[in-house]
Structure 1
Amino acid sequence: MGREHIDTRQLAQLTEQSQDLHSDALRITGRAMAPTASEEDVMALQTAASLENLAVGVYRTAARLPFIRSGNKTLVTFISTTTRQHEEHAKAFNAAVTRAGGRAQTGTDPKYAAVVRKTLPTVKTPADVVKLAISLEDVAAQTYTKNVGQVSSGPLRRLFGSVAPVEAQHRATLLAVQALLSAGDESLIALPTDVAKLPPAVGSVGFPDAFYPTADASPVSEGAIR
């Protein structure tokens, strides 16, 4: 894709779309209760909450890193906004869990918590933070997308179906940021930015999939309370 096709407002639009999708997800949460939820429904909701709890922890840790805290202001704002959204998603999933008769999940997904513990000591740059965040957003988006076809009621399908695109938007924004970091000029991560210096990949890198994949979705039992 040539430079003339790059959308100079991409990061801003992705952020705005994420906010809009997030608002939609929260509105749907109030209706996401099933009078007769299955055991699989409860496990799926607990696993979702465990993924959200883990994302919150990672973003909070990232925000405290000196090279993030005193670094690029646009990235700092993105981390702050995304942390809040993950906190609210965790509350949404746990509210649905308790309405379904299950226990709220306050822990983190054991599989990916182990990955995070192994990875965090190697995080030395903003690019490392972005790479880790992309992996967490991707597994959440894939999991919720698959959950839509696994839960037993319309309200729960709408809940998962409304949160999944928020996580996909987070990933899309991070992929765009990753491309800008790879260009070697962190100043490009700005709103507005210098379009003449943008790498061509920024115009398409955030949307690598025509249909969101689910091959790496977490099993419904992965983060369930035992």
Structure 2
Amino acid sequence: MITRLTARTLTSPHGFLGRTGGVSTGIFASLNVGLGSSDDQAHVRENRSRALAAVAPAARLVTLHQVHSARAVEAGNWLDDARPEADGLATNRPGLALGILTADCAPLLFEDAEAGVIGACHAGWKGAFTGVIAATVDLMEQLGASRHRIAAAIGPCIGRRSYEVDTAFRQRFEDADPDNELFFTDGRENHAFFDLEGFCLKRLAESGITRAEGLGADTKSDPDRFFSYRRKTLAGEPDYGRQISLIALPG
């Protein structure tokens, strides 16, 4: 069965999906939607169909070739093998479901229900740091939204207790803004733990988004529910699955 988390802040059809309810096997079990993975591509496409059916069965799924950038693009009817390189997308067109793939990075979903504009972005530390959240909000405004009406939610991502980083990583954030020290907890020597969800919430506030929530689900520490790149790396596995977060305009 496909498990689906939803956010109180969002009213449009949406869902943050986990790893269950698909047809993939082995390390990809079972709802792996990653076209870039080494999984059987027939399984991946079936999983993507199942994910869409669980959230917006009448819509067409639109995803990106995610590259950890700060680029956001207007969603279009491109084919899966022609996905643009970007990490945020938005639309004011009914019939499209925006999908973001993650395996520890933060998936963000947005809506301005009054204007009929939705958005989604993939925010790893690099994208969050360099501005993908702001770029997505800016694009939504270009399509008719108002940032004062936009609501947002952050789905499952790696949690603070699971995200160990080194001193250079921490220094990069604190050099940019000393207040960013709030998102780090001291760990072993020359290491700390980073709060990606908390940092994304700060970035939302800086973009003028006043209605936002984080679901507080840690992908790395919950192998039964979520794929995790870091867990895969620590286990020495050759590849990893990706879960999907979706939002569509109603109607």
Structure having the larger proportion of residues in strand: 2
Q: Which structure ranks higher in relative contact order (CA pairs < 8 Å, sequence separation ≥ 6)?
A: 1
TM-score, normalised with respect to structure 2: 0.27
TM-score, normalised with respect to structure 1: 0.29
